[in-house]
Amino acid sequence: MLSHPDELKYVKSHEFVSVEGDVATIGITAFAADQLGDVTFVELPKVGEKFKTEQKFGVIESVKSVSDLFMPIAGEITAVNENLNSEPELVNLDTYKGGWMIKVKIENAAEVASLMSAEDYKKFIVD
Protein backbone atom coordinates (compact mmCIF):
# COMPACT_ATOMS: atom_id res chain seq x y z
CA MET A 1 0.00 0.00 0.00
CA LEU A 2 1.44 3.37 -1.03
CA SER A 3 1.75 5.87 1.79
CA HIS A 4 0.91 9.56 1.50
CA PRO A 5 1.26 10.95 5.05
CA ASP A 6 -1.27 13.47 6.35
CA GLU A 7 1.38 15.87 7.68
CA LEU A 8 2.78 16.53 4.17
CA LYS A 9 1.55 18.76 1.33
CA TYR A 10 1.36 17.69 -2.32
CA VAL A 11 1.18 19.05 -5.87
CA LYS A 12 -0.23 17.66 -9.11
CA SER A 13 3.25 17.17 -10.58
CA HIS A 14 3.73 14.56 -7.80
CA GLU A 15 6.18 16.35 -5.52
CA PHE A 16 5.66 16.43 -1.76
CA VAL A 17 6.44 19.35 0.57
CA SER A 18 7.32 19.01 4.23
CA VAL A 19 7.30 22.36 6.05
CA GLU A 20 9.35 23.23 9.14
CA GLY A 21 9.34 26.95 9.97
CA ASP A 22 10.40 28.80 6.83
CA VAL A 23 12.12 25.77 5.26
CA ALA A 24 10.40 23.30 2.95
CA THR A 25 11.80 19.83 2.23
CA ILE A 26 10.83 18.59 -1.22
CA GLY A 27 10.87 15.20 -2.92
CA ILE A 28 8.57 13.02 -5.03
CA THR A 29 5.55 11.13 -3.73
CA ALA A 30 5.31 7.39 -3.16
CA PHE A 31 2.84 7.22 -6.05
CA ALA A 32 5.39 8.84 -8.40
CA ALA A 33 8.24 6.63 -7.16
CA ASP A 34 6.09 3.56 -7.74
CA GLN A 35 5.18 4.70 -11.25
CA LEU A 36 8.82 5.36 -12.15
CA GLY A 37 10.13 2.07 -10.80
CA ASP A 38 13.79 1.69 -9.83
CA VAL A 39 15.31 5.17 -9.65
CA THR A 40 18.85 5.18 -11.08
CA PHE A 41 19.83 8.86 -11.13
CA VAL A 42 18.66 12.17 -9.69
CA GLU A 43 20.05 15.43 -11.08
CA LEU A 44 19.66 18.24 -8.54
CA PRO A 45 20.34 22.02 -8.52
CA LYS A 46 23.06 23.81 -6.55
CA VAL A 47 22.63 25.45 -3.16
CA GLY A 48 21.86 29.14 -3.61
CA GLU A 49 19.93 28.76 -6.88
CA LYS A 50 16.50 30.42 -6.90
CA PHE A 51 13.43 28.95 -8.55
CA LYS A 52 9.90 30.10 -9.29
CA THR A 53 6.83 27.97 -8.67
CA GLU A 54 6.43 25.18 -11.27
CA GLN A 55 9.93 25.84 -12.62
CA LYS A 56 12.01 22.74 -13.42
CA PHE A 57 14.60 22.16 -10.70
CA GLY A 58 15.99 18.76 -11.65
CA VAL A 59 15.66 15.47 -13.48
CA ILE A 60 14.91 11.99 -12.22
CA GLU A 61 15.79 8.87 -14.19
CA SER A 62 14.56 5.34 -13.66
CA VAL A 63 15.69 2.31 -15.64
CA LYS A 64 13.03 3.01 -18.26
CA SER A 65 12.26 6.72 -18.06
CA VAL A 66 13.43 10.30 -17.69
CA SER A 67 11.22 12.87 -15.94
CA ASP A 68 11.57 16.50 -14.94
CA LEU A 69 11.18 17.65 -11.35
CA PHE A 70 9.14 20.81 -10.72
CA MET A 71 9.11 23.29 -7.85
CA PRO A 72 5.88 23.04 -5.83
CA ILE A 73 6.62 26.50 -4.39
CA ALA A 74 9.06 29.35 -5.06
CA GLY A 75 12.26 29.69 -3.09
CA GLU A 76 16.03 29.48 -2.75
CA ILE A 77 17.81 26.11 -2.46
CA THR A 78 19.44 25.79 0.97
CA ALA A 79 20.44 22.11 0.76
CA VAL A 80 20.39 19.15 -1.64
CA ASN A 81 20.44 15.49 -0.69
CA GLU A 82 23.96 14.40 -1.68
CA ASN A 83 23.19 10.81 -0.63
CA LEU A 84 21.11 10.39 -3.78
CA ASN A 85 24.33 10.54 -5.83
CA SER A 86 25.43 7.18 -4.54
CA GLU A 87 22.06 5.78 -3.46
CA PRO A 88 19.32 6.98 -5.84
CA GLU A 89 17.27 3.95 -4.74
CA LEU A 90 16.51 5.83 -1.50
CA VAL A 91 13.74 7.53 -3.50
CA ASN A 92 12.04 4.11 -3.80
CA LEU A 93 13.02 2.66 -0.43
CA ASP A 94 12.63 5.63 1.94
CA THR A 95 10.68 8.13 -0.15
CA TYR A 96 9.79 10.80 2.46
CA LYS A 97 12.87 10.56 4.72
CA GLY A 98 16.13 9.38 3.11
CA GLY A 99 14.70 10.07 -0.36
CA TRP A 100 14.22 13.84 0.04
CA MET A 101 15.75 15.93 -2.75
CA ILE A 102 16.02 19.61 -1.86
CA LYS A 103 15.44 22.04 1.01
CA VAL A 104 14.10 25.46 0.07
CA LYS A 105 13.81 28.74 1.92
CA ILE A 106 10.13 29.52 1.47
CA GLU A 107 9.60 32.78 -0.38
CA ASN A 108 5.86 33.15 0.11
CA ALA A 109 4.14 31.40 3.02
CA ALA A 110 0.73 31.85 1.41
CA GLU A 111 1.80 29.41 -1.33
CA VAL A 112 2.18 26.60 1.19
CA ALA A 113 -1.40 27.02 2.32
CA SER A 114 -2.65 26.55 -1.24
CA LEU A 115 -0.99 23.12 -1.70
CA MET A 116 -3.01 19.88 -1.74
CA SER A 117 -3.66 17.92 1.41
CA ALA A 118 -2.92 14.18 1.54
CA GLU A 119 -6.64 13.54 1.17
CA ASP A 120 -6.90 15.73 -1.95
CA TYR A 121 -3.78 14.18 -3.47
CA LYS A 122 -5.07 10.64 -2.93
CA LYS A 123 -8.30 11.61 -4.68
CA PHE A 124 -6.28 13.21 -7.48
CA ILE A 125 -4.19 10.10 -8.20
CA VAL A 126 -7.26 7.84 -8.21
CA ASP A 127 -8.75 10.04 -10.94
Task: Kindly state the smallest distance separating residue 63's Cβ from other proteins, in Å.
Answer: 4
Chosen residue from 3, 5, 41, 47 binding other proteins by CB under 8 A:
41
Handedness of CA 55, 18, 4, 38 (dihedral sign): positive
Residue 22 binding other proteins, by CB under 8 A: no
How far is residue 51's CA from residue 70's CA, in Å, rounded to a whole number?
A: 9
| Residue with Cβ nearer other proteins (2 or 59) | 59
Among the listed residues 87, 110, 120, 107, the one whose alpha carbon sits nearest the alpha carbon of residue 16: 120
Q: Which window, 12-20, 22-30, 37-45, 113-121, contacts other proteins (CB under 8 A)? A: 37-45
**DSSP 8-state symbol, 117:** P
Residue 110 binding other proteins, by CB under 8 A: no
Chosen residue from 38, 47, 117, 120 binding other proteins by CB under 8 A:
38
Contact of 99 with 44, CB cutoff 8 Å: no
